[in-house]
Structure 1
Amino acid sequence: MVGPIPYWGANSVQGYVDRSLVEGPLVLVGEDGAPFYDRLTPVAFAVDEPIWPNNHVHVLRPNVDVDHRFLAASLNAVDYSLYIKGSTRDKLNQSDLSAIVIAVPSHEEQIKIADFLDQETAEIDAFIADQEELIGLLAERRAASLLSETLEIKPTVSGSLGRFIRKQERPIQGADVVTAFRDGEVTARSNRREEGFTMSEAESGYQGVAVGDIVFHGLDGFAGAVGVSDSNGRCSPVYHVCVSEKGVDPAFMALYLRALGLSEFLQAYAWSVRQRSVDYRNWSVFSKLPISLPSPPEQRGAVERLQIAFREIDAAITDAREAIALSKERRAALVSAAVTGKIDVRNHGEAA
């Protein structure tokens, strides 16, 4: 039942329950699913209040001569690549966690270090939170622009989606695997990143993608995984690879389909809604979506206006993300320097 007690997972509070299993002071360390290879993101957390931890987190109760805040900071300065196991999911076993060696100064000095880090990281964390809020507001502004420029323009023609785009069955165009990302970019994976994708050994059913094709992910398109490909290559059969018919601007159609997902239109017409996905893998279902489009000049005008608006918004989002990354680097360096003695904080807080 929902209550006031934090329910902790490997990375953060996952919800709230009506009773606790343990009480602080404690240190929580992710067992699996934590960002062990991201040196800028904490994997250990100092907890003072009663909590309910799930089975994806280690619960440590420090000895009386160990400050739990200092211990959490020390564990966040560890190189976990030396301790992680697991072929499919990174996992920190209890035996490996116990083998981690950290330097432990006197209890008084631990408290000094912890107090110093509490003050300094609070300012950094507040700045990061402000930047994350800004990114959220910019994303809302971007979405509002998309909806107004695609769904609120007076239509001149209506019909099923299959009237305006035609599914292709191309031969494979090259070795690159083309992916539709949720931000609307459709490109070769090598242009973004390779991690986190499941690759098929047999590549059964893989199809070709050409530059300029409209590419829609049959399970993820509702969340924005649709766009115009900037790469030649191949993609899995879960995608619909299409070209636009005469009088339909492919860039506008991709933006229009993104807007239909954002407005939950795609969810309403889907024959199957799965957890965190909407199933449009069946072309006969997808192609029957009822849509209404503006005239070709209006389509081109909308694309041009959105390109200008997105350029400004995306630049601001990039600046905010860079500021967050730099702040996280500063935070991680500060924590590491404090717990390893590279900076002396013993006189922190004392009058000059």
Structure 2
Amino acid sequence: MSYSKYPAYKDSGLRWLGKVPEHWEIKRLGHYFEDRREKVSDKDFKPLSVTQHGVVPRLETAAKTQNGDNRKKVVQGDFVINSRSDRKGSSGLSTMDGSVSLIYTVLKPFNIAGEFAHYLLRSESFQEEYYRWGKGIVADLWSTNFSDMKNIPLSIPPVHEQTQIVRFLDHETTRIDALIEEQQRLIALLQEKRQAVISHAVTKGLDPTVPMKDSGVEWLGEVPAHWRIGSFRRLVSSISNGTTINQTEETTTTIAVSRIETISTGEINFNKVGHIDHAEAIPKFILNKGDILFSHINSLPMVGNVAIYNHNEPLLHGMNLLRLQPHRNIASNWLHYLLKSKNIRQEVESRAKPAINQASISIDSVKEIPALIPPKAEQTQIARFLDNETDRIDMLVSEAKNGVRLLQERRSALISAAVTGKIDVRDWQPPTPSKTHDVEEAEAV
């Protein structure tokens, strides 16, 4: 969809604004906002969290301050923004009274529509300019105080035009958000499908006509009659802990070592490895192709994460991950998929012992997990089938994620264009239901 430009522009003299509509006023931020600095207690004003989605009641995951009597007051209609550059995008117009940490800047709007301020100050273009005015001693972490923020020049249209821009953006962002949500539902369904395909193949096989038998294990149910039933100790020749040598900065004389984060996505990620001095590397900890790394100490949903090592780049087995080396009659790729199956993951979680902020499962407990053992040729066949199926599903997931990214980029660009006057929406009207339906049908095609 294309939009008209304003008939006349003027040069703002500012890089982040560029040319702006001729009739828009250019004044400093302090002309439109006051800094609310009133200190309150969270006993009187409920604590709020400021997220990239706006201002919400305090999240359960938010850090709890020990000084609840030393917070900033927030009144409905205030705009709140995190002053730290590492929290870029955490801001929004508050729809409730409450209190926030002192690290936030609380702005009381005047001479400007609050909803327009919400879009303007959350726009990507303003966010970049806002943090450019910050100060600090660390290159990628600094704060922007109101004493500096108030001097940022803004280009603001008349109030009636602000209202029309808000009306336009409310409609368009709602439409884009609905498309994003649709893509995210598709991603969730594809990921569920991927998990179901893996779980079915490694517990039921690929031949639907093969005779079945009761496994004797409730969570496995019936399995192919010719498969053996044992435990994980029958599948692996070794389960071991990793090296505990202290890690150091990466240099030309270091070697990569695995960490919990290295396998957090289900694959070996060399961007999330540690390093130790090559001279201290003990050969027995160097991974061999086909070795499987297993997260046995982590937060409960992450216990049981696995990844198979099939790389040419050397990698040491680090602490907090178990190294599983398959028996010679066990196909590594098949065992990798077995460990990824929903049935096994749930069994691992049920055996993990909870502790403060994490859980763990012992080597002995892993060895005792019930397991199925198809003939090796069938293991290889199942692994090859799952390679093809998961690659196909992963491609669809990747396409859907790319669609979400493009929609999010369009949403951001549209907001920035509207609030800085790059498009003229003064005559915009929402489409009639019939036109909306036609557009949705066209997009679906």
State the TM-score, normalized to the length of structure 2: 0.62
> Once the 2 structures are TM-superposed, how far is the Cα of residue 304 of structure 1 from its aligned partner?
1.9
Alignment of structure 1 residues 56-135 onto 2, 5 Å: 58=104, 60-76=106-122, 77=124, 78-79=127-128, 81-82=131-132, 83=134, 92=143, 94-95=145-146, 98-99=149-150, 101-105=152-156, 106-135=158-187
CA distance, structure 1, for counterparts of residue 392 and residue 379 of structure 2 = 20
Pair 1:98–1:33, CA change in 2 (3 A): closer
Amino acid corresponding to residue 159 of structure 1 in structure 2: S
TM-score by length of 1: 0.76
SS at match of 2:297: coil
One-letter amino acid of the counterpart of residue 73, structure 1: Y
Separation of aligned partners in 2, 1:350 and 1:284: 64
Q: Which amino acid aligns with 1:212?
A: G
For 1:97-176, list aligned pairs within 5 A. 98-99=149-150, 101-105=152-156, 106-153=158-205, 154=223, 155-161=227-233, 164-167=236-239, 175-176=255-256
Q: Within 2, Cα distance between the matches of 1:86 and 1:261?
A: 50
* Corresponding residue for residue 91 of structure 2: 44
Q: 2:231 touches 2:367 (CA, 8 Å); kept in 1? A: no
The 3-state SS of whatever aligns with 1:150 is helix
2:378 pairs with 1:306: no
User: Is the partner of 1:176 in helix, strand or coil?
Assistant: strand
**2:295 pairs with 192, 203, 217, which one?**
217
% identity of equivalent residues: 19
TM superposition shift of 1:184? 1.9
Report the CA distance between 1:133 and its aligned residue. Answer: 0.9
8 Å contact kept, 2:267–2:308: yes
> Quick one: which amino acid aligns to residue 93 of structure 2?
A
Equivalenced residues, count: 329
Superposition pairs of residues 171-182 of structure 1, within 5 angstroms: 175-178=255-258, 180-182=262-264
Rounded to whole Å, the distance in 2 between the matches of 1:130 and 1:318 is 15
Counterparts of 1:35 and 1:278 in 2: how far apart (Å)? 29
Once the two structures are superposed, what CA deviation does each residue of 1:74-132 show, in whole Å capped at 9, x if it has no partner?
22232155238696996756547845725142322222222221122221111111111
Q: CA RMSD in A?
A: 3.9
| Gap runs ≥5 in structure 2 | 1-45, 61-72, 206-222, 246-252, 432-445
Does the residue aligned with 1:347 lie in a helix, a strand or coil? coil
Give the partner amino acid of 1:117: L
Q: 1:116 to 1:163 in 2, by over 3 A?
A: closer
Q: Counterpart of 1:210 in structure 2: which amino acid?
A: N
- Letter in structure 1 aligned against 2:116: F
Q: In structure 2, do the counterparts of structure 1 residues 271 and 60 end up closer, same or farther at CA, with 3 Å as the change threshold?
A: closer
Residue by residue over 1:142-162, the C-alpha shift from the partner in whole angstroms, topping out at 9 and shown as x without a partner, is 111121122345341403437
Q: Secondary structure of 1:71's match? A: helix
2:327 corresponds to which residue?
A: 245
Structure 1 residues 215, 330: closer, same or farther in 2, change over 3 A? same
Bigger strand fraction:
2
Query: 1:10 maps to what in 2?
Result: 51
Distance (Å, rounded) in 2 between the aligned partners of 1:156 and 1:88: 59
1:309, CA displacement in angstroms? 1.7
Specify the code of the residue in structure 2 equivalent to 1:239.
L
